[in-house]
Structure 1
């Protein structure tokens, strides 16, 4: 761990087998778990909590203060889960008084030049392709795949198992299990390939497709579609997850292609 060309604050808590390359800066109030590799010229600032077996590539900046004028210097965290990779020049800001932390889950791949702003919550097994930009308080569900150059508006929610086309501007919530593309961002079917890869059965996939036919292809408004889904489709984990997401959507869900 000892690297004479790195600055490590004496109060930082770093596991004994962490690899730290030259010209790294690690501030106080930082915790880094076993087996993590910190590349050269990485800056890890106060409030970082980094899990086990992570790979952080050169130029990344973790736990910088939020780019939010409401931030008044309060204590907050930037949390990175286990087995997560942050590629070159990724920036992860710490939280504000709003939520207290910014978090990225386990087994994620965050590619070069991505930005994760204050108070975001990124789930497990998420892939964020190059130059994806998350504004403040965005929520990204487990297994989401976000194409390169995507910009996601503050407070937006992206459901689990979603795939978003590269270059998208996301200003509406993206419900679970779907593909999203076009301008403005629109429903493009369900993410059937991804669901099959993750062990969803053909029956589960058909049920999800039927739910989204009601929501996006029936010409009913969202409230009417929900009523029909509850009345005509048996309760399943996937059905209830979709309905809960749609009902609780703070920004409203994206539209269908023909709306």
Structure 2
């Protein structure tokens, strides 16, 4: 380990650091930290509390992982931590805070990209392959599904959820749950259509994408309340896995789901076609 650790780094003797890990200059590694094989920790990083880095994780310069939660109810000394999945990349000056509950974890999955200056607060759960773009603020107890993308400068209200493969446009305010596979944007965020481009890139078959567009029309173009639209989706559309997942997500929403744009709001003579009109 010695050859891979910069001489100015402070590594507590209690920390468990794999011999193949690398730690940069002036970084501080606390006693309850576990660093896996092939992990790279940049310069001036701080890892405190319980932090577990799976193999292949990369931490950019100046990032702070495991810091005290910004929650007035948090009691000092509560044993909690941060877990980062294999091959996730955390870029420069990101902050990820540990959980508030005893033996709780703030979890970031495998293969994620958390871009510079973003913040992930206490008790959040981020799924595998998610992308969080610069300056996004993920507040406490939020959930982000796998392969979702969160645009830069986006803010999430505590306890909200973003479904798998959803895309949140930059500078959005997410104050309700974002259904999986949807594209949302705005302040507050509203659903603009199905994330067709993302689903195509992810390899979802065209037949499944078309059925999701049918579900989108029932949810956001029929004028029905979400629960009534959900009943029609379940009775009229084939029970393909993405449709079932979408239905279960909406049924489990405790804080409501993002709605459609207001009719006529901001519309001029030229209206950009919504994503659901794209080639599937």
Match of 1:124 in 2: 128
Match of 1:2 in 2: 5
User: Where do 1:97-136 residues align within 5 Å?
Assistant: 97=101, 100-136=104-140
Q: How many angstroms apart in 1 are the aligned matches of 2:99 and 2:182?
A: 29
Deviations 1:155-197 (A, max 9, x none): 0000000111100011110000010012321010000011011
**How many residue pairs align between the two structures?**
259
Q: How many angstroms apart in 2 are the aligned matches of 1:3 and 1:79?
A: 24
Match of 2:20 in 1: 17
Does residue 190 of structure 2 align to residue 186 of structure 1?
yes
Instruction: Name the Cα RMSD after superposition.
Output: 1.1
TM-score (normalised: structure 2): 0.90
TM-score (normalised: structure 1): 0.98
Q: How many angstroms apart in 2 are the aligned matches of 1:92 and 1:30?
A: 14
Which ranges of 4 or more aligned residues in structure 1 deviate by more than 2 Å? none
Match of 2:50 in 1: 47
Q: How many angstroms apart in 1 are the aligned matches of 2:70 and 2:126?
A: 18
Match of 2:269 in 1: none
Does residue 32 of structure 2 align to residue 29 of structure 1?
yes
Q: How many angstroms apart in 2 are the aligned matches of 1:111 and 1:2?
A: 24
**Are 1:99 and 1:119, in contact at CA under 8 Å, matched by a contact in 2?**
no
Deviations 1:192-249 (A, max 9, x none): 0110111111100000000111011000111111111111112111111011100111
Corresponding residue to 2:229 among 208, 225, 232: 225
Query: Structure 1 98/157 Cα, relative in aligned 2: closer, same or farther at 3 Å?
Result: farther
- The structural deviation recorded for 1:258 is 3.1
**Are 1:110 and 1:129, in contact at CA under 8 Å, matched by a contact in 2?**
yes
Listed as ranges, the gaps of 5+ residues in structure 1 are: none
Corresponding residue to 1:246 among 243, 247, 250: 250
SS of structure 1 residue aligned to 2:234: helix
Match of 1:96 in 2: 100
Corresponding residue to 2:209 among 205, 210, 213: 205
Deviations 1:22-59 (A, max 9, x none): 10100011001000111000001020011111111110
Corresponding residue to 1:70 among 68, 73, 95: 73
- The structural deviation recorded for 1:150 is 0.4
Q: How many angstroms apart in 1 are the aligned matches of 2:177 and 2:215?
A: 17
